[in-house]
Amino acid sequence: MIFAMDVGNTNTVLGIFEDQKLIKNWRISTDQHKTPDEYGILFFNLFSHAGLRIEDIKGIVISSVVPPVVMVLKETTQSFFGIEPLVVGPGIKTGMNIKMDNPREVGADRIVNAVAAYQKYGGPAIIIDFGTATTFCAVTEKGEYNGGAIAPGIGISTEALFRYAAKLPRVELNRPKKAIGKNTIMGMQSGIIFGFVGQIEALIDRFKNELSQDSIVIATGGLVKLIAKETDKIDYIEPFLTLDGLYHVGQLNNIDG
């Protein structure tokens, strides 16, 4: 079995692969203050509850946008699993040519998303990840990572609105019935949800103009279902795209589970 970890700014997504299939997954809060022992106990409890054994893990693959957590997780996996993890970054085989001014600055999560999307659907492709930030990645027909865009995520945008506008309340991210709100909360929900959809659609159109009108659009991330159902410009929803990409990168680097 392969243990894949995608460490994001807000959440960490964990997945177990067996015989090329994702058989179990969890979403936990990313905590920079947890010690290796605390992470180890957490993993032990998750595995025990799922009827899985730590001893059956043969390889571990990690992508992270939070460097301090990587060091802790490396110590955790060495202590509790007896395994040196593969951390996605410069020098790791991904099978994808990164056509950026500085390939090292591209987040590991974006690379593995692009790898998984190209493996599943080919190219050209546009990958949108709805996380703390909303990221857009462009992959050419030849499977080259061609660049992308980064926008504030819907969650932090909403929090900023609450913090810096004294009279506006914190609202739940629910779809309003109409765009024209009849009260402050509905008005905020309309601006947040429908405004965010407008941003997504505008960037998809611009990406297609520069990449190809035939580009397939794949969406992933924690908030994907909230936004994707409001637009017809997204072709496929892949909630575990990053985990799939991590598994594929692990295979390319001879991790066999």
Domain boundaries, the chain: 2-87, 97-241
CA atoms within 13 A on the CB side of 80: 23
* CATH architecture observed for domain 2-87: 2-Layer Sandwich (3.30)
Assign 3-class secondary structure to the chain.
Answer: CEEEEEECCCEEEEEEEECCEEEEEEEEECCCCCCHHHHHHHHHHHHHHCCCCHHHCCEEEEEECCHHHHHHHHHHHHHHHCCCCEECCCCCCCCCEECCCCHHHCCHHHHHHHHHHHHHHCCCEEEEEECCEEEEEEECCCCEEEEEEEEECHHHHHHHHHHHCCCCCCCCCCCCCCCCCCCHHHHHHHHHHHHHHHHHHHHHHHHHHHCCCCCEEEEECCCHHHHHCCCCCCCEECCCHHHHHHHHHHHHCCCCC
Give catalytic residues, as residue numbers.
109
pLDDT, tens digit only, all 257 positions of the chain? 999 999 998 899 999 999 989 999 999 999 999 999 999 999 999 999 999 999 999 999 999 999 999 999 999 999 999 999 999 988 889 999 999 999 888 989 999 999 999 999 999 999 999 988 999 999 999 999 999 999 999 888 888 888 888 778 888 888 888 999 999 889 988 998 999 999 999 999 999 999 999 999 999 998 888 888 899 999 999 999 999 999 999 999 988 76
Cα distance between residue 26 and residue 163, in whole Å: 30
Contact predicate 123/170, CB 8 Å: no
Q: Is 2-87's fold the same as 97-241's?
A: yes
pLDDT at 208: 98
Q: Is the dihedral of CA 71, 72, 77, 79 positive or negative?
A: positive
Chosen CATH of 97-241 out of 3.30.420.40, 3.30.70.100, 1.10.10.10, 3.30.70.3270: 3.30.420.40
| pTM of the model as a whole | 0.89
